[in-house]
Amino acid sequence: MLKKIIFFYIDGFRSMKTGRKLWAIIFIKLFIMFAILKVYFFPNFLNTNFANDKERAEHVMHNITRLRNN
């Protein structure tokens, strides 16, 4: 059964025409998104700058209790 399912996918991918180009686009896109953008341009701000949840919560609390006119 498992073998049948695996060959179902393998045959499906082999017989693709337009699909091959689309898979190439998907992989290039995912590579740019996760290996370049996420790593170099979109670090999680709180995870990068603070060591633990307590510090993160304190930072956010500081921001939301800091009024421009207060």
**Interface residue list for other proteins (CB under 8 A):** 8-9, 11-13, 15, 18-19, 21-23, 25-26, 29-30, 32-33, 37-38, 41-47, 49, 53, 56-57, 60-61, 63-65, 67-70
With the C-alpha atoms ordered 49, 54, 58, 61, is the resulting torsion angle positive or negative?
Answer: positive
* Residue nearer to other proteins on the CB measure, 3 or 68: 68
Instruction: Tell me if 64 sits within 8 A of 54, measured CB to CB.
Output: no
* Three-point CA angle 54, 43, 61, nearest 5°: 30
